Structure 1
Amino acid sequence: MTSVFRDTLFAYTLRSAFGSRVFPHEDDKGLPVVWQEKLSAHSTPQHSQSTIDVNNPPAPDAASVHSVATAIAKAADPEKVNDSLLVDWYGPTDPDNPQNWSSGKKAWVMFQTCLLTFTIYVGSAIYTAGIPGVTSEFHVSTVAATVGLTVYVAGYGLGPMVWAPLSEVPQIGRMPIYMLTLALFAVLQVPTALATNYGMLMAFRFLTGFFGSPILATGGATIADMYSPKKRAYGMTLWGVFAASAPSLGPLLGGFSAHFESWRWTIWELLWVSSFTVVFLFFFFPETSASNILYRRARRLRKATGNALIMSEPEIAAASMTARDRAIEVLVRPFALNFQEPIVLALNVYIGLIYALLYMWFESFPIVFIGIYHWREQLLGLSFLGLFVGAFLVMPPFFAYLYYVQEPKYNANGDLKPEERMPVAILGALLVPICLLWFGWTSRPSVHWIVPIIGSSLFSVAALLLFNVVLNYLADAYPTYAASVLAGNDLIRSMFGAGFPLFAGATYRNLGVGWASTLLALLACAFVPIPILLYKYGERIRMASKHARHDFE
């Protein structure tokens, strides 16, 4: 049980108050034998570029540690300097390495990652049930009220551009970013629910989206922290199910409260869900970033030995980065990679289109199920259950495909060429227009309402397959820049998702459900060649890139 709590915010809080005897690590109980041997055998050479007296190292205060790390980082061959004092894992089975955690602990962290993802994603669609109430109370048009959805989506598109790179900093890690932003997300629901005018509501909807965003881009990195590439696709699929099902459950969760109370109750519901998630993760969500775990280990060893030369490799690398380097990484690199890398641009635009079609298509559900099938307004959320069911039904066959077809293609090093993932994306790409045509042309009084709902389930199947392939492809092809690439992907898809709902209602009312759905299906068909071309020519394009990984065998 100690390992469940040890690297959580709860444990960090207790340790800061009562010392290292609370939830101790092995090196808190005494200097590990491996480090006793290292220190007794250590003889550090002077280095011409270092101003640090390595034979008489300074005490491990923050300033001296940073100066040592900077000196080592600037050395001619940093990998060989002080190698004997470099903090790393204690062998291939080190239990502190997230890759070596038990299956139960990984599943426990995976569940919390999915819970956090669901909490943030449901915040977008839960608002839609209250749009009529916002229109009535603030005397604005339906399009203006819909902006409350789009600014939230825009907020969680922009947020990862800041939060994702910060989570890669060894001294910060992922867990503090998640916890801080989630706490702010929950707190900001209060002024959102109490908004006294339209502008105040829109401003706080944007801020809640912005602060809730880290998990939406970095959740994939959290999964990669724990699972090898061969097993990562399973975790990404489960994460994708929660991401896909949350928008479909949002209108259901908010529908009854908005109908019987007011639009404000949809926000109060979001406050309850997010507050529960904050408390739950406070006690149980651990740090998964290897860089941060090794940094904390190095800090404990420095404290135990008084030797400021003991440090982790990520710590040394981080010390060499200037404020300008950080600014470039946060503000420039995600945009540069998105527009300079043809593969990244094509996949990001395609996923952005899928995201836009999803949010635009949602606007047709009240037209179909209230206008055509005459459902009561508070029951409208039930029409989205086809999407929810489809996301879960696709998992067993997709897991079987991963196990029996894809896993045997991994090489001895546990790597798979990213292009080998594309056949699944091709299937997903074909399902999108089929789904839209099915839904559009069966939504009529002469056809039972279950038929378009069954058709709608194909969209979540397609979205799950496409998201899984694209996110794994980008992480595999650009491992060095994964945080920036995934943040850029989140930005592009969120910008598409934010813009399209604004004209969705007018499109469906003017063209009719059938022809509007056909228009969306034709747009989806125009992008079907992207996964096909990447499957055939992706390796050649990737090998020509200076940022992509080339060493797949």
Structure 2
Amino acid sequence: MAALLHDTLFAYSLRLAFAPRFLSHPDEIDLPMAWQSAIHEKQLMPDSAVTSVHTAVHQDTPASRSTASIASAETAVNATAPQNPDALEKGSDTLLVGWYGPTDEDNPLNWSRNKKLWVMFQTCLLTFTVYIGSSIYTAGIPGVSEEFHVSQVASTVGLTLFVAGYGLGPMIWSPLSELPQIGRMPIYIFTLALFVILQVPTALATNYGMLMAFRFLTGFVGSPILATGGATIADLYVPKKRAYGITLWGVFATAAPAMGPLVGGFAAHAKGWRWTIWELMWLSSFTLVLLFFFYPETSAANILYRRAARLRKITENPHLKSQSEIDVENMTARDVAVDVLVRPFALNFQEPIVLVLNVYIGLIYALLYIWFESFPIVFIGIYHFKPQLLGLAFIGVLVGAFLVMPPFFAYLYYYQEPKYTADGELRPEERMPVAIVGSLLVPIVMFWFGWTSREGIHWIVPIIGSGLFSIAALLLFNTVLNYLADAYPKYAASVLAGNDLIRSMFGAAFPLFAGAMYRNLGVNWASTLLGLLACAFVPIPIFLYKYGEKIRMSSKRARHDYD
């Protein structure tokens, strides 16, 4: 039980109130002999020596990430300690704090399977909680129009502003989570607390402008997990196993928009549109309480940063530092500002691969939201579903997301895993065959749905077609998110934040004209137009499979050392 509570906000609170007596770290109970010997003599080392130690014990491979220990650092320090006065003048008397060994239990890569699954569940629940906030509102759109005397399109702006908010938010929150002084967990819980609080004025909005403003703010503050969740999964799993976690995360991300109309439909019909917001507040409040007690920090940089701080306090030796501290000390305020505010945009618009993939995923996301706008036209207008039962039409999307998991996991295990190198690495381009399959399914779904949605064909047929869309979306999202994390591991959170921005901007804009397009063109031709648009993007994964490596090797930010 203690292992589940370590490094949670609940544990931080106990330690702040009662000192380290509760949920103490091992190094606070029994300082290892390796540490005692390391601080016995204050070995001095220049910046170059610090770099050499970091290189020796922190290579970016799954095996070596967990092999750094103070004993190995001490050996390297002793070997490289300078013997000249110049080195002393620099004041670089630093001892590097790393992992205690290859089985260090504080290293997220070494956590037990059950603990990883528990953290994965909470990550997926948080993702589901925020994502459902977009579509749960759609059930109340007619009520918003009636109460505030605005058009259907104006009421739909409440959906688009929420989506726009959670597209812009990660451009700030995600880079902050990469700072070793902060980490991921405080960002998640702090923003989720704001998310819960802001639901109250949203539900109690007295005019249209107030409702729209708070819908944007709630999307903005709830957004970090939607981009950084992929980086959290990368904290827990080596690249060879990361795809499984990304897939599970993607299922929850796909299921949430599909569940929103179902959950909100009954509430809006019985109690009015405000109850859709109250439902969101109840769900997010439960998630907040769970994360407060049980969600640990997963960022290795932050874990080592706090370990170094603890050891400095215990030993009264100011020269013990983690590599992340050493890196931050050399950064100016301008450097930090650039990292937080500029880097996500630079990566998104200066890297051709990132931009193309983000636009493609943005299109898929836009198709999802514009397509959802056709469901009332099809299932209420054509098949005469009751409004409160409209959400049942989205079950196909939900079922498709879960049905694809077993065969996809089998593909990962039997086909993709054998392609990994001995160092546990895989060329990002090897992930593209799955995306090719997904890209071909998208136009098929659009044509299927458009030309089977008619009174002479049973309603189950278009619902089956909708299930294929979630299969396609899951394959594409999984491929793109893993590709970006593999190709840009150093900037994973920032790259994924850029992906979230682009897809959210597409998803926010398209629903505004979806209703008019379906009414003017008809369901069949409007869906055909979307299918043809999807066809135009099919060559992208094929092109990247053949030429992506060459483009990636020309980038200064992308990783080059895949064998």
| Shorter-chain TM band | over 0.9
Residue 168 of structure 2 corresponds to 158
Provide the residue aligned with 1:267 in structure 2: 277
| Counterpart Cα distance in 1 of 2:431 and 2:47 | 47
Amino acid at match of 2:250: G
> Which residue is 2:14 aligned to?
14
| Residue 487 of structure 2, aligned match among 477, 487, 512 | 477
Partner of 1:64: none
| Contact kept? 2:195, 2:221, Cα under 8 Å | yes
Which residue of the other structure, out of 332, 336, 354, is the alignment partner of 1:326?
A: 336
Deviations along 1:515-534, whole A, 9 cap, x unmatched?
00000000000001000000
Alignment-mate amino acid for residue 138 of structure 2: T
Structure-2 change in CA distance of 1:197 and 1:349 (3 Å): same
The verdict on how the C-alpha distance between 1:76 and 1:336 changes in structure 2, with shifts beyond 3 A counting, is farther
Verify: 1:4 aligned to 2:14, yes or no. no
What displacement does 1:31 show? Answer: 1.7
The Cα shift of 1:193 comes to: 0.0
Residue 318 of structure 1: how far off its partner (Å): 1.6
Deviations 1:484-523 (A, max 9, x none): 1111111000000000000000000000000000000000
Query: Unaligned stretches of 5+ in structure 2?
Result: 51-85
Pairs within 5 Å for 1:49-88 = 82=93, 85-88=95-98
Task: Report the counterpart of residue 341 of structure 1 in structure 2.
Answer: 351
Determine the C-alpha separation between the residues in 1 that align with 2:92 and 2:34.
19
Equivalent positions of 1:30-49 (< 5 A) are: 30-44=30-44
Q: How does 1:337-376 map to 2 (within 5 A)?
A: 337-376=347-386
One-letter amino acid of the structure 1 residue matched with residue 13 of structure 2: T
**Are the counterparts in 2 of residues 431 and 462 from structure 1 also a CA contact under 8 Å?**
yes
Confirm whether residue 294 of structure 1 aligns to residue 304 of structure 2: yes
Structure 2 matches for 1:161-176, cutoff 5 A?
161-176=171-186
CA distance in 2, matches of 1:118, 1:313: 35
Which residue of 2 is the match for residue 520 of structure 1?
530
Specify which of 185, 206, 216 is matched with residue 195 of structure 2. Answer: 185
Deviations 1:149-203 (A, max 9, x none): 0000000000001100100111111000000000000010000000000000000
Conserved 8 A contact 2:45-2:87:
no
Partner of residue 545 from structure 2, selected from 530, 535, 545? 535
Distance 1:36 1:502, change over 3 A: same
Cα deviation, residue 15, structure 1:
0.5
Alignment pair present for 1:222 and 2:255: no
Match of 1:148 in 2: 158
Q: Deviations over 1:235-266 (max 9, x none)?
A: 00000000000000000000001011110000
Count matched residues: 526
Report which stretch shifted further, 161-170 or 36-45: 36-45
Change (3 A) 1:46 1:265: closer
Instruction: Tell me what 2:459 maps to.
Output: 449
1:305 to 312, 315, 331: 315
CA offset at residue 45 of structure 1? 5.2
Q: Deviations over 1:188-243 (max 9, x none)?
A: 00000000000000000000000000000000011000100000000000000000
Aligned mate of 2:437, from 411, 427, 434: 427
Shift of 1:47: 8.2
Q: Partners in 1 of 2:349 and 2:31 — Cα distance? A: 49
**Of 182-191 and 313-322, the range deviating more from structure 2:** 313-322
Using a 3 Å threshold, how does the CA distance of structure 1 residues 304 and 468 change in structure 2: closer, same or farther?
A: same
Does the 8 A contact of 1:220 with 1:236 survive in 2? Answer: yes
Q: CA deviation at 1:76?
A: 9.4
Q: TM-score, length-normalised on structure 2?
A: 0.92
- What pairs with 1:210-289 in structure 2 (closer than 5 Å)? 210-289=220-299
Question: Separation in 2 of the partners of 1:219 and 1:47?
Answer: 34
CA–CA separation in structure 1 for the residues paired with 2:125 and 2:233: 13
Report the AA paired with residue 40 of structure 2: S
Alpha-carbon contact 2:348-2:355 (below 8 Å) kept: yes
The equivalences for 1:410-421 within 5 A come to 410-421=420-431
Compute the displacement of 1:41 (Å).
4.5
SS class of match (1:19): helix
Whether the aligned pair in 2 keeps the contact of 1:161 and 1:491 (CA below 8 Å) is yes
The letter for the 1-side match of 2:497 is A
Gaps of 5+ in 1: 51-74
Give the alignment's TM-score, normalised by structure 1: 0.93
The AA in structure 1 aligned to 2:325 is E
Question: 1:449 Cα deviation (Å)?
Answer: 0.4
The percentage of aligned residue pairs carrying the same residue is 75
Select the residue among 92, 101, 104 that pairs with 1:91: 101
SS in 2 for 1:548: coil
Distance 2:332 2:273 in 1: 47
Partner Cα separation in structure 2 for residue 264 and residue 288 of structure 1: 36
C-alpha offsets along residues 33-64 of structure 1, whole Å, 9 cap, x if unaligned?
1101212254225889x9xxxxxxxxxxxxxx
Find the partner of 1:317 among 302, 314, 327.
327
Does 1:110 find its partner at 2:159?
no
Aligned partner letter, 1:147: V
Task: State the secondary structure of the residue aligned to 1:20.
Answer: helix
Match of 1:54?
none
Question: SS at 2:22's partner residue?
Answer: coil
Separation (CA, whole Å) in 1 of partners of 2:172 and 2:505: 16
CA contact (8 A) 1:124 1:250 kept: yes
Conserved 8 A contact 2:235-2:299? yes
Q: Distance in 1 between matches of 2:17 and 2:332?
A: 33
Amino acid at match of 2:32: P
Cα gap change, 1:440 to 1:47, in 2 (>3 Å): closer
2:403 aligns with 393
Deviations 1:429-457, CA, capped at 9 Å, x for gaps: 00001111111110000000000000000
The residue type equivalent to 1:108 in the other structure is W
Show the counterpart of 1:60.
none
1:169 match: secondary structure? coil
Match of 2:394 among 359, 384, 391: 384
| 1:342-400 deviation per Cα after TM superposition (whole angstroms, max 9, x unaligned) | 10111000000000010000000000000000010000000000000000000000000
CA contact (8 A) 1:418 1:476 kept: yes
| Structure 1 consecutive aligned stretches of length 4 or more whose deviation exceeds 4 Å | 45-48, 80-83
- CA shift, 1:334, in A, is 1.5
| CA–CA separation in structure 2 for the residues paired with 1:183 and 1:497 | 25
Aligned twin of 1:23? 23
Offset, 1:341: 1.1
Cα–Cα, structure 1 residues 104 and 327, in superposed 2: closer, same or farther, change >3 Å?
same
- The alpha-carbon deviation at position 551 of structure 1 amounts to 0.6
Contact 2:43 2:93 in 1 (8 A): no
Amino acid at match of 1:436: M
Measure the CA separation in 2 of the matches of 1:43 and 1:248.
60
| Range with bigger deviation, 241-250 or 317-326 | 317-326
CA distance in 1, matches of 2:47, 2:253: 51
**Pair 1:527–1:17, CA change in 2 (3 A):** same
Alignment-mate amino acid for residue 19 of structure 2: G
Give, in whole Å, the separation in 2 of the partners of 1:188 and 1:76: 54
Does 2:517 correspond to 1:507?
A: yes
Is the Cα–Cα contact under 8 Å of residues 21 and 28 in structure 1 kept in the other structure? no
Q: Deviations over 1:99-145 (max 9, x none)?
A: 00000000000000000000000000000000000000000000000
